[in-house]
Amino acid sequence: MAAVDYRLEGEIAVLTIANPPVNALSLPVREGLMQALERAGGDPAVKAIVVTGEGGTFAAGADINEVSSGLVLKSPITREVQARMEAASKPLVAAIEGVALGGGFELALACHWRIAATTAKVGLPEVKLGLLPGAGGTQRFTRLAGPEAALEAITAGHQIPAPRALELGLVDALADPALDGALAFARRAVAERRPLRVTSDVGERIRGVDPELFAAFRRKLEAKARGQLAPFRIVDCIEAACTRPVEAAFARERESFIECRDSPQRKALVHLFFAEREARRIPGLGPEVTALPVHRAAVVGAGTMGGGIAMALANAGIPVSLLELSAQALERGLGVVGKSYDASVARGSLTRSQADAALGLIRGVSEYPALAGADIVIEAVYEDLEVKQEVFGRLDRVAGPHAILATNTSTLDIDAIAASTSRPEKVVGTHFFSPANVMRLLENVRGRHTSPETVATVMALAKRLGKIAVLAGNCDGFIGNRMLMFYGAEAEFLLEEGATPEQIDRVIEGFGFAMGPLAVRDLAGNDVGFQIRKGRRLPPDERWSPILERLVAGGRLGQKAGRGYYRYEGRTRIPDPEVVALIEQVSRELGIERRSIPDEEILERLLHPLVNEGARIVEEGIALRASDIDIVYVNGYGFPAWRGGPMYWAEEAGLERVIATMRRLAPRRGARWRPAPLLERLVASGRGLSSGLA
């Protein structure tokens, strides 16, 4: 089949884009569309044109590979195809099945009308790739739906469900299948001689817009998207649509598109797009390994994590039994789950009926035998090896022989947990991040005996839950927490040498993290952090700074106590001279002369040890590839996506800088802080982290 199929349905020409897997608008598609439009335009027997997509989807946008090559695209470009469409003298209707995203939706927006299937989704997600819609998307969307809706949807890259798109005026009718609806619509338009509706001429919604709207939205973005280029440029384009002549406004979009396309942020975000897809590929797990079906699930432990995991499963339509032995704790856990669904409804992220349907899938149980029917049981009890071993022993006895037993541990040894069962091949780590029903990351951990089928099942389950899974090997802290240890430890060493909590957090937040390391500690609870630290054994040549312990001893447990590294008024943190005095006291005791530490040094000393440990993790095969680490840090630890993740960021800046920092730190910190051999090999050979040198 050609990239665009042309056929006649009576008097209507149907143009079908056929470019698997997602009908991206690569050159053959654009050429095919151009030719088909010419042909339909020139055939007097054709009275109207319908554009649609093959394989249950309209089009997922420009070909990301083509856009990110940075080369000038070959003609015809999408804008030329659109110009041809808008110049058509016959009704042109888009039939949207599946998704119409990015350039795909921009193409549909250049049709006179759009008919969508009820389950279809439309949107302009370019911002997620550090881009903005460069084929009139910001302009036509704003003209049809108004600037408020455009600002919200395009700066966030939302996929908009068809019913909402109808309300917004982005589509004109819903029909199933969309093609039948579009054909009927086109026939009516012909019969009624309906005037053609060229969207770039539609003007009602862009007139008389209060300029304060844009100023206010920019202020809102300052809080949400600080440091990012594309969201702010999108606001400029939408403002231009409302304030400038058509030609100038379209030109503005074009210039901004090029600026974004050529930015390092675009490059970093495209890296993450492909990294996310690459993370699903597990070497050695061929198509002959199939995932087990998961019809029913169970979760052990109705605390914060257990409740969140149960919600994540229920939200994907999987019935789940939530086990808690004490009736009181079970009731409390279910209460929290219920409240969390209420909050989702109040926020508008779920409808009442969706929330009720999900809640209806969660059944509280208080005895182990009630878990017998589950295909997978996920344990989320207290983080203690003996406790978990006891739970797994019991699970092994009650769960069906086919069932997978997963643990939500964030640091413990999967093999030691598996040893308490008769089915180590079915034991696996599924490390969720809190809140588990919200956070997209899932760190799946393969033990020594975990079977390929078990791995395939938890990877497939992640996709079903709408999560991004990364497969990690079994070691202390797996990928994420193992690296984090160095970051957290160094933050305290910086305090000992002269930094203050607010300086450290300001530098890290300025880099783009949502929160700095000490603010995060206060949020999670310093007692919790200290407890985890006590459970870890340090090599003899390393030490912990005593600062954390002193804070805990002084009742500075964090936000929940109103004081930690900071003083809190509500959730607002306020620098506290008492903490600085405590830190200065520690410096004196250790004989460290405090000095003023430049911001740049803070950044490197926090992030380079993270990257260095990441390189060891790649080298040991704990992570399958460096880009998996980027996925973990961006989705689980607040690393700014537009910087591409720690490994990508470090490589862009030069891996030799990481080596230099580690050479400076290692003599004082211990052998594990020496430069990772992989980094030294890569720098010596002038190669990159994706070279396979690990």
Catalytic residue annotation: 106, 126
Cα Rg, the chain, nearest whole Å? 28
Could you say which of 60, 428, 462, 479 contacts ligand COA (CB under 6 A)? 60
Q: Which residues of 645-682 are buried (b: 16+ CB within 10 A; e: fewer)?
A: bbbbbbbeeebeebbebbeebbeebeebbbbbebbbeb
Closer to ligand COA by Cβ: residue 99 or 309: 99
Where in 64-93 is the site for ligand COA (CB under 6 A)? 64-65, 67
CB 172 within 8 A of CB 164: no
For the window 218-257, what string marks contact with ligand COA as x by the rule CB under 6 A?
----------------------------------------
Give the C-alpha separation, 522 to 560, whole Å. 8
Measured distance CA(213)–CA(152) in Å, rounded: 12
Kindly give, in sequence order, each residue whose CB lies less than 8 Å from that of residue 521, ignoring residues fewer than 6 positions away.
Answer: 488, 529, 548, 558, 564, 565
Nearer to ligand COA, 228 or 559 (CB): 228
Size of the site for ligand COA (CB under 6 A): 19
Min dist CB 387 to ligand COA, Å, is 37
Rounded to an integer, what distance in angstroms lies between the CA atom of residue 568 and that of residue 582?
Answer: 17
Closest contact distance (angstroms) between CB of 53 and ligand COA is 11
Segment 12-41, which members bind ligand COA (CB under 6 A)?
Answer: 21-22, 24
Which are the contacts of 581, defined by CB distance < 8 A and separation ≥ 6? Answer: none
Cβ proximity of 617 and 482 under 8 Å: yes
Element (H, E) at 174: strand 173-174
Task: Give the nearest distance from C-beta 470 to ligand COA in angstroms.
Answer: 15
- Min CB(215)–ligand COA separation in Å: 28
61 binds ligand COA (CB under 6 A): yes
Decide: helix, strand or coil at residue 203: coil
Window contacting ligand COA (CB under 6 A); options: 96-104, 201-209, 466-474, 618-626: 96-104
Cβ-based nearer residue to ligand COA, 65 or 326: 65
Q: Answer for the pair 289, 453: CB distance below 8 angstroms, yes or no.
A: yes
Beta carbon nearer to ligand COA, 125 or 301: 125
Q: Is 106 in the site for ligand COA (CB under 6 A)?
A: no
- The residue range among 56-64, 295-303, 393-401, 573-581 that interacts with ligand COA, by the rule CB under 6 A, is 56-64
| Least distance CB 257 / ligand COA (angstroms) | 10
Q: Does 125 bind ligand COA (CB under 6 A)?
A: yes
Q: Of residues 74, 188, 277, 534, which one binds ligand COA by CB under 6 A?
A: 277
Distance, CA of 93 to CA of 50 (rounded, Å): 5
- What sign for the dihedral angle of Cα 368, 370, 375, 376? negative
488 is a site residue for ligand COA (CB under 6 A): no
CB of 159 to ligand COA, least distance (A): 7
Torsion of CA 257, 258, 262, 266, to 10 degrees: 10
* Span interacting with ligand COA, options 27-35, 57-65, 242-250, 628-636, rule CB under 6 A: 57-65
CB of 21 or CB of 570, closer to ligand COA? 21
Minimum distance from CB of 74 to ligand COA (Å)?
16
CB of 595 to ligand COA, least distance (A): 47
The structure tokens listed for 445 are 């951990």
367: closest CA among 420, 322, 319? 322
- Residue 272 binding ligand COA, by CB under 6 A: no
For ligand COA, which residue of 33, 85, 99, 376 counts as binding (CB under 6 A)? Answer: 99
Mark the segment that binds ligand COA (CB under 6 A) among 95-103, 594-602, 633-641, 668-676: 95-103
DSSP state of 350: S
Among 32, 76, 102, 306, contact with ligand COA (rule: CB under 6 A): 102
3-state secondary structure of 158: coil
What part of residues 127-186 is at the interface with ligand COA (CB under 6 A)? Answer: 129, 131
CB burial string 357-368: b at 16+ within 10 A, e below = ebbebbbbbeeb
Least distance in angstroms from the C-beta of 19 to ligand COA: 9
Near ligand COA by CB under 6 A, which window of 11-19, 97-105, 189-197, 373-381? 97-105
CB closer to ligand COA out of 101 and 160: 101
Closest CA to 92 of 31, 17, 40: 40
Residue number with CB closer to ligand COA (100 or 206):
100
Helix (H, G, I), strand (E, B) or coil at 3: coil
Please tell me whether residue 446 adopts helix, strand or coil conformation. strand
Residues that bind ligand COA (CB under 6 A): 21-22, 24, 60-65, 67, 99, 101-103, 125-126, 129, 131, 277
